Chains A and B, each alone.
Chain A
């Protein structure tokens, strides 16, 4: 009975706690008495206790020491300075929050946050003191004041804050099922509060939903940002140590941490780090999830975590929604009081870019301030175009290259190797024919060769298209061109004796140039393709037809309109001989394109387009080709409502299939904008043109020639609405690389004159006319008097004078402009057109002039 284990335990523990080892024998004698077994048992235990075995001292799988985290001595009822702890109201990443009562100098309830162990209290308090003054300057209804800081008796730092009865913003939004719009409205308030703090020189450093509470103020939800200044004081930096010991509860979540904060090097954190966190917060409000999955960050190793935050591009919010499980997605949508499709549609586009801009890895590319972020959200809410837009192709491509240097280098090599490979393979096949039975082999070779060259050309095309995420949509100027040029060199050198394969390659390269809007290069390259196909023996084939058409189309962009038209017509004639719908439809499109300028149409193009559209409809399931035809048809009928409705139709089709920021969608939007402008609906056109410009300058190079055109049209649009100031800004903002500012202005005047006269707004033409008159000498000195542009300018002046009732002056300029229009020169069509118009205005009979391009 006495040797019961519990008895042995008691004696054993007493021996250790109450007696020194040398007293043990005496104590055991007394405690165990006659029970030898009991005594033996206790002796064994004591011996084991004293043995220097380390067994059990360390946890089975724990080798590193953990930070001691004893429970807080601070409990409700305890006084800390002038504060009495009432109850624990929260437990955060780095501490415990109590509801406390301040007793002096005033009696009020406050929130008191006690930082858990693991911090150097002195440092924390010193850092807080350093910022105390700045904190005191903050006075904003949406910021909870930090009132005080100090050290508890147990040596832990604490912060005293204005008490906020609220819940985290994301929970509030979900609980109350706020719509996306309502969420954005709340978010704007948050941004404005952060802006206030930033203006006072205070950075939050730890913006996350649990620090942005929503409390009711006067019956309305109002955000309250808590913990300003606290994060800095406790210097919450992500280190390997803090990550590993995060259950020592030093660090909160890395989900909202900006890349520069995730850096180990003490890269300065500035206000833009808060912008990043605001971006993540908005992301979460929109999608119900964070950009990176919580689980993933939690299970990531330290280096991996930093890499994710610094380098990994999170999915856009709308993409994120589409990748949620069906259940989760519908829950999220339900919390926005909408359905998944609708939610996705709302978020896609502007809101996507807005969030992504706030969350840019490179802080220079984020919104420069919280208020500019707020303003952009407001712009979105008011249906104005937002500042944010997809990052430019060049930028994304540069980033892509940085990450994939090897891939890119390989790509160029592969491209050339392929080209060579195609030649070699064919050459070997031909050698084989010499050695074996010619007749059989020749046929075989013809078959394989065609198949192979098509394969290679297709592969090359795919590869060029897939060169980078940007190339698929955006097009990069430099690198893609380098790859193209490198490939071209090899094509020329290595495939010289294989005209048909070479032709395929030229055509593929040309199409890529055409696609990215480099028509000069495209013309050069298509010309080579045409030469190859033409030299190749055999029937006039589909390849030659298509190559001619493509050549003709691109020629129209580089002021070779007449030649272009001839080539496109030749291609079309050829296509009509071969019974291939695809080829014919393509050639019709090219032919139509060759009758247009900068994508704007003419009556001449209409029948071609109509026929092509019919063909595509017959073929079925070709929505993108159909949309392209419709868009071009719209461009042919810019003057009336039919054109407008066609343009809207094309825009919707592209939007539906490709999304809002695809360059084809943008193209349709651009056409629509121009149509509205021509119809005198400047106010409707303006936002479209603005958006087109912003998007284009992001997606294409800034000095892409087309961007200049868009700028001029936008400037004209603003001018027509009386906003000369901004019009001038837009013009001056143009890249000077592709054409001098004088030319920019000249063409802009011509645009304005065109619009004003269309709408018979002669009074407004007077000031424009004076300006033009003043700049005439400049124009002449640049181009000389025989240039089409000079003539067009002179005719425009004549037109203005005629319109404003000064026939004499008009006649003077009309005569000045006399002479042959260079039909292959710049703006031949426009020059001729305005000439004819002026003739009509001045009542000059028989306005037909030498060199007319009208009937070409």
Chain B
């Protein structure tokens, strides 16, 4: 198995294909971590995405070798994407269960995820996000880091290597954009 630190250093060295290897590893680690945490947590308690992501970072990356800014950035971006996928899959599954489709419960663990919105809302947000990414990838990335990986603006800015004020502007715009989109499709948003 390729080692995450090694992949990061390949990215550092300018190997564009390396980034593709990162996501599956991070994805797996996050799922594992979350499962482990959920197994120990009382029902009803919540996970913090940011804690999870930092955990994954500490576990996967030899931090002393990878103190560099750029490599971290790739990692967090991959982690945000991984978190997005996990949560969306989870939401899909829950929605399916709710509507009686797919009676099999595949991943019991996922039932414990406590999200701040309903599965439908989460999926709707994700659809919007995909559209936004086509139009404004940086703004979409900020949303991913903030909404799915639980980062605050400062952290997201650091991860993206942009100024905090810039990150804030992206965020303001993206939030309005997605809300507008949802309003126009008449999705119930509280």
B9 to nearest A CB, angstroms? 19
CB-defined contacts of A304 to chain B, threshold 8 Å: 40
B183 and A60 contact, CB distance less than 8 A: no
CB-defined contacts of B176 to chain A, threshold 8 Å: 12, 45-46, 48-49
A45 and B173 contact, CB distance less than 8 A: yes
- With beta carbons under 8 angstroms apart, the residue of B36, B116, B146, B184 that contacts A63 is B116
Please give me the residue from chain B that is nearest to A16 by CB atom: B172
How far is A51 from B59 in the complex, measured between Cα atoms in Å?
41
CB-defined contacts of A69 to chain B, threshold 8 Å: 152, 154-155
A137 to nearest B CB, angstroms? 34
How far is A46 from B183 in the complex, measured between Cα atoms in Å?
12
B99 contacts partner chain A, Cβ-Cβ < 8 Å:
no
B167 contacts partner chain A, Cβ-Cβ < 8 Å:
no
Contact with B along A438-449 (1 / 0, CB 8 A): 000000000000
How far is A61 from B114 in the complex, measured between Cα atoms in Å?
6
- With beta carbons under 8 angstroms apart, the residue of B146, B177, B182 that contacts A59 is B146
From known contacts A55-B121, A60-B117, A62-B46, infer whether A301 and B51 are also in contact, taking CB-CB under 8 Å.
no
CB-defined contacts of A46 to chain B, threshold 8 Å: 176
How far is A16 from B175 in the complex, measured between Cα atoms in Å?
13
Contact with B along A15-56 (1 / 0, CB 8 A): 011000000000000000000000000001111110101111
Please give me the residue from chain A that is nearest to B136 by CB atom: A5
B183 and A13 contact, CB distance less than 8 A: no
B190 and A54 contact, CB distance less than 8 A: yes
CB-defined contacts of A5 to chain B, threshold 8 Å: 135-136
A244 and B48 contact, CB distance less than 8 A: yes
B95 contacts partner chain A, Cβ-Cβ < 8 Å:
no
A537 contacts partner chain B, Cβ-Cβ < 8 Å:
no
Contact with A along B55-88 (1 / 0, CB 8 A): 1000100000001000000000000000000010
B180 contacts partner chain A, Cβ-Cβ < 8 Å:
yes
- With beta carbons under 8 angstroms apart, the residue of B33, B55, B122, B152 that contacts A68 is B152
Query: Interface centre among B48, B59, B125, by most A CB within 10 Å?
Result: B48
A247 and B172 contact, CB distance less than 8 A: no
Within 58-79 of A, Cβ neighbours of B (below 8 Å) are at 58-64, 66, 68-71
Please give me the residue from chain B that is nearest to A51 by CB atom: B179
CB-defined contacts of A295 to chain B, threshold 8 Å: 59
B178 contacts partner chain A, Cβ-Cβ < 8 Å:
yes
A45 and B180 contact, CB distance less than 8 A: yes
CB-defined contacts of B180 to chain A, threshold 8 Å: 44-45, 47-48
B12 contacts partner chain A, Cβ-Cβ < 8 Å:
no
CB-defined contacts of A63 to chain B, threshold 8 Å: 46, 114, 116
From known contacts A13-B173, A49-B176, infer whether A60 and B54 are also in contact, taking CB-CB under 8 Å.
no
How far is A299 from B116 in the complex, measured between Cα atoms in Å?
23
Within 295-327 of A, Cβ neighbours of B (below 8 Å) are at 295, 298-301, 304
A108 contacts partner chain B, Cβ-Cβ < 8 Å:
no
A154 to nearest B CB, angstroms? 14
B116 and A53 contact, CB distance less than 8 A: no
A9 contacts partner chain B, Cβ-Cβ < 8 Å:
yes
CB-defined contacts of B179 to chain A, threshold 8 Å: 48-49, 51, 53, 55-56
B125 and A55 contact, CB distance less than 8 A: yes
B115 contacts partner chain A, Cβ-Cβ < 8 Å:
yes
B108 contacts partner chain A, Cβ-Cβ < 8 Å:
no
A547 to nearest B CB, angstroms? 54
- With beta carbons under 8 angstroms apart, the residue of A62, A244, A299 that contacts B36 is A299
- With beta carbons under 8 angstroms apart, the residue of B39, B136, B177 that contacts A45 is B177
Please give me the residue from chain A that is nearest to B175 by CB atom: A56
A751 to nearest B CB, angstroms? 60
CB-defined contacts of B125 to chain A, threshold 8 Å: 55-56, 60
- With beta carbons under 8 angstroms apart, the residue of A9, A44, A62 that contacts B173 is A9
B175 and A59 contact, CB distance less than 8 A: no
CB-defined contacts of B120 to chain A, threshold 8 Å: none
CB-defined contacts of B47 to chain A, threshold 8 Å: 61-62
- With beta carbons under 8 angstroms apart, the residue of A49, A58, A64 that contacts B172 is A49
A49 to nearest B CB, angstroms? 4
A53 and B189 contact, CB distance less than 8 A: yes
A58 and B116 contact, CB distance less than 8 A: yes
Contact with A along B116-133 (1 / 0, CB 8 A): 110001100100000000
B178 and A71 contact, CB distance less than 8 A: no
How far is A45 from B169 in the complex, measured between Cα atoms in Å?
13
List the interface of chain A (C-beta within 8 A of B): 5-6, 9, 12-13, 16-17, 44-49, 51, 53-64, 66, 68-71, 91, 244-247, 295, 298-301, 304
Contacts A/B (CB < 8 Å), 12 sampled: A12-B173, A46-B176, A53-B179, A55-B117, A57-B175, A61-B48, A62-B46, A63-B114, A64-B48, A66-B150, A244-B48, A299-B36
List the interface of chain B (C-beta within 8 A of A): 33, 36-37, 39-42, 46-51, 54-55, 59, 67, 87, 113-117, 121-122, 125, 135-136, 139, 143, 146-150, 152, 154-155, 158, 169, 172-173, 175-180, 182-184, 189-190
4 A-B pairs closest in CB distance: A48-B179, A299-B36, A48-B180, A59-B150
Besides A59-B146, A63-B46, A91-B67, 17 other A-B contacts (C-beta < 8 A)? A5-B135, A45-B180, A49-B175, A49-B176, A55-B178, A55-B182, A56-B175, A59-B50, A60-B125, A61-B114, A61-B115, A61-B150, A62-B46, A247-B48, A247-B55, A299-B36, A299-B40
